[in-house]
Amino acid sequence: MTKLNAKIPSGPLSEKWSNYKNSLRLVNPANKKRIDVIVIGTGLSGASASSTLGEMGYNVKTFCYQDTPRRAHSVAAQGGINAAKNYKNDGDSVFRLFYDMIKGGDFRAREANVYRAAEVSNDVIDHYVALGVPFARDYSGYIDNRSFGGVQVSRTFYAKGQTGQQCVLGTYSSLLRQVNKGTVKLYARRDVLDIVIVNGKARGVITRNLVTGEIERHSAHAVVLATGGYGTVYYLSTLAVNSNASAAWAAYKKGAFFGNPSFVQIHPTSIPVLNDFQSKLTLMSESLRNDGRVWVPKQKGDKRIPKDIPEEERDYYLERRYPAFGNLVPRDVASRAAKERCDAGYGVGPTGLSVYLDFKDAINKQGQKAIENKYGNLFDMYEKISGENPYKTPMRIYPAGHYTMGGLWVDYNLMTTVPGLYAIGESNFSDHGANRLGAGSLMQCSCDGFFILPYTISDYLADDIRTGKIPVDTPEFDDAEKSIKEKIQRILSVNGKDTPLDYHKRLGKIMWDYCGMVRNEEGLKKAIGLLSDLKVDFWNNIKVAGKDNELNLELEKALRVADFIELAKLMCIDALNRKESCGAHFREESQTENGEARRQDEAYSFVAAWEHKGDDVEPELHKELLVFENVELKERSYK
């Protein structure tokens, strides 16, 4: 139980990071040239880390599976990125941003890390502007901010509806500048399949070249995972469809603990499933709830078209249940309420699995033009996909898997439990507790990569200035390569009947039904059984077309789904273990009389960090107790 050391520096919260930074060791420029760092991932976290490490003078090798770093999933972020600039003079501050994140995360995140992210958030905005990111501006030329995710201040920086894309292009350009200078070498179209540990330290990776199929060895003095989240475990989610957990899972199997794997944010406003072939769910921005009213018919199974349902026969259930916040309740609350109505038989649309988001009143009051100005691009996107015009008929929406707060456990240095193996961005568990605030992820990813990891990793690398190149012709690399090759041969040789897609869909259904928005002991136990069966079934019946020594998209998928099935089980084990409700994790057994989430601070104020103990062996739970010295634990109430 004492294995976990979060390494939180002592001293007052607001001085921890600056004091700690001053105590970290540095590596002098001449020595940096002798040190290699591998970064896996080119989203905001990976690209920012790679370029900054390159600027500092390290030799960086950067990997991604897309054809170019610019396509990393971060491009999909729409709403914005938070910072504590207080440009609107509305009382924002580093402390307030910190507090909102801690409270939003339902008091399940580590104070010191969250405070630090809030503290460096302003530097991130400065840097993005310097890189040419075209944030929205006022007529005066100053940067504009908006309020996002139900907070009371306007601290969100945005670039129309594509903040993620614009921030990625900024980090990508600085990454390419380092490629130009020769400090960063890019390895695109590579899947990292394993992490290589030498004498207890992460010293390299095994990759598959996705064009030739070749299995390659790469070594470094430290390895950084910036591989994103695992929301695609549900098959249908708002994530890019190739997003996966395989690198993080490989790290877990090599000794990195997995933190709070069951903490997943389900976003309330996605376009619902339209048919069986659907491959992804498209997010409709949260901002729509500022003007849209959510409702279902009062009568079960009412099949009338919305305009034929009179006002008094509509149930505006969010306004009814949460008079104070109404349609603006947090994501998890809105998601569960939609599920509750649909499960009770009041859902609308062909499948009964959607609710209306109606702009009728807003259009009547403000005029269609005003609504068009605010949401025009979203309305167009909705119409493109659904074929329905949301100016005329209400949108139909339903919750979808969106973001994973869980991830690899890291200490204050962002290092996992494997020395020399770091995890940044969505791939770690660190800053969002049990629920993430809107616009908080782009912020965290950028803080980690630009302003935190480069300092902490230097301290670690200071020990490696005399190590010399890490050779790849060693037994450790031999073994890792051999086991990957065997895994690939095994998966290809089954030659069963069902495709990776078939399995991914089956997996998604189990997880959505039993480890989604609402969880209970019986369901989770059932899911664990189903997942064990699914794993056996997969390895006896998977069909992977094509060969290993060529471009083979089916093989890529099969390897990812195999890992997802195992991760899914860990998610259920974690959800089963946490008998309280907190944030997005809702255990039916732990609710108030009114059906609201009931946290149990005495018993569960900890981070659950799981240690791999072998395939098909129960993982071991380690607890990092959370200590709150600067905030008072409160119940979240939106009544």
Partner 1 sequence: MNIKLKIWRQKNAQAKGKFENYSLEDVSPEMGFLEMLDYLNQKLIKSGGEPVAYEHDCREGICGSCGMYINGRPHGPEAKTTTCELRMRSFKDGDTITIEPFRSRMFPIIKDLLIDRTAFEKILIAGGFISADTGSAPEANSILVCKKHADKAFDMATCIGCGACVAACKNSSAMLFVSAKINQYALLPQGKIEAPERVKKMVAKMDELGFGSCSNTYACEAECPKGISVSAIAKMNREFLHAKLIAED
In eight-state DSSP terms, residue 450 is: I
Tell me whether residue 462 or residue 501 sits nearer to partner 1 (CB atom).
501
Tell me the closest approach of the beta carbon of residue 48 to partner 1, in angstroms.
8
Tell me the closest approach of the beta carbon of residue 90 to ligand FAD, in angstroms.
20
Tell me the residue type at 443.
Answer: M
CB 110 within 8 A of CB 6: yes
450 touches, from ligand FAD, partner 1, none (C-beta below 5 to 8 Å by class): partner 1
Tell me the closest approach of the beta carbon of residue 16 to partner 1, in angstroms.
20
CB 45 within 8 A of CB 171: no
> How many whole angstroms separate alpha carbon 391 and alpha carbon 472?
61
Tell me whether residue 36 or residue 426 sits nearer to ligand FAD (CB atom).
426
Tell me the closest approach of the beta carbon of residue 164 to partner 1, in angstroms.
8
Buried b (16+ CB within 10 A) or exposed e, 244-256: bbbbbbbbbebbb
Tell me the closest approach of the beta carbon of residue 129 to partner 1, in angstroms.
4
* 517: its two tokens: 């928005």
> How many whole angstroms separate alpha carbon 593 and alpha carbon 145?
39
Largest CA distance in the chain: 77
Using CB under 8 A, pick the residue from 240, 245, 488, 576 that binds partner 1. 240
Tell me the closest approach of the beta carbon of residue 77 to ligand FAD, in angstroms.
3
> How many whole angstroms separate alpha carbon 157 and alpha carbon 155?
7
> How many whole angstroms separate alpha carbon 84 and alpha carbon 94?
5
Using CB under 8 A, pick the residue from 8, 198, 241, 631 that binds partner 1. 241
Using CB under 8 A, pick the residue from 33, 497, 525, 623 that binds partner 1. 497
Active site residue 217: no
Catalytic residue among 70, 217, 331, 396: 331
Using CB under 8 A, pick the residue from 52, 113, 435, 444 that binds partner 1. 52
Tell me whether residue 550 or residue 616 sits nearer to partner 1 (CB atom).
550
126 binds partner 1 (CB under 8 A): yes
Using CB under 6 A, pick the residue from 36, 191, 194, 358 that binds ligand FAD. 191
Query: Binders of ligand FAD: how many residues, by CB under 6 A?
Result: 47
> How many whole angstroms separate alpha carbon 308 and alpha carbon 26?
70
Q: Give the rounded distance of the alpha carbon of 399 from its chain centre.
A: 16
Buried b (16+ CB within 10 A) or exposed e, 332-369: bbbbbbbbebbeeebbbbeeebbbbbbbbebbeeeeee
134 binds partner 1 (CB under 8 A): yes
Tell me whether residue 45 or residue 416 sits nearer to partner 1 (CB atom).
45
CB 97 within 8 A of CB 431: no
Binding mask 429-448 toward ligand FAD (x if CB under 6 A, else -) reads ----------xxxxx-x---
Query: Which 74-93 residues touch ligand FAD, going by CB under 6 A?
Result: 74, 76-81
Using CB under 6 A, pick the residue from 65, 172, 249, 317 that binds ligand FAD. 65
> How many whole angstroms separate alpha carbon 35 and alpha carbon 31?
7
224 touches, from partner 1, ligand FAD, none (C-beta below 5 to 8 Å by class): none
44 touches, from partner 1, ligand FAD, none (C-beta below 5 to 8 Å by class): ligand FAD
What is the layout of strands, in order, in the sheet containing 184-187? 184-187, 59-63, 36-40, 222-225, 421-423
* Torsion angle, alpha carbons of 243, 247, 253, 254, to 10: -160
179 touches, from ligand FAD, partner 1, none (C-beta below 5 to 8 Å by class): partner 1
389 binds partner 1 (CB under 8 A): no
157 binds ligand FAD (CB under 6 A): no
41 touches, from ligand FAD, partner 1, none (C-beta below 5 to 8 Å by class): ligand FAD
26 binds partner 1 (CB under 8 A): no
φ, ψ for residue 620, nearest 5 deg: -100, 135
CB 571 within 8 A of CB 511: yes
Choose the stretch contacting ligand FAD; rule: CB under 6 A; options: 3-11, 36-44, 387-395, 540-548: 36-44
432 binds partner 1 (CB under 8 A): no
Return the residue matching tokens 């912020």: 443
User: Using CB under 6 A as the criterion, which residues of the chain lie in contact with ligand FAD when the complex forms?
Assistant: 40-46, 63-66, 72-74, 76-81, 163-164, 190-192, 226-229, 238-239, 243-244, 246-247, 283, 402-403, 425-427, 439-443, 445
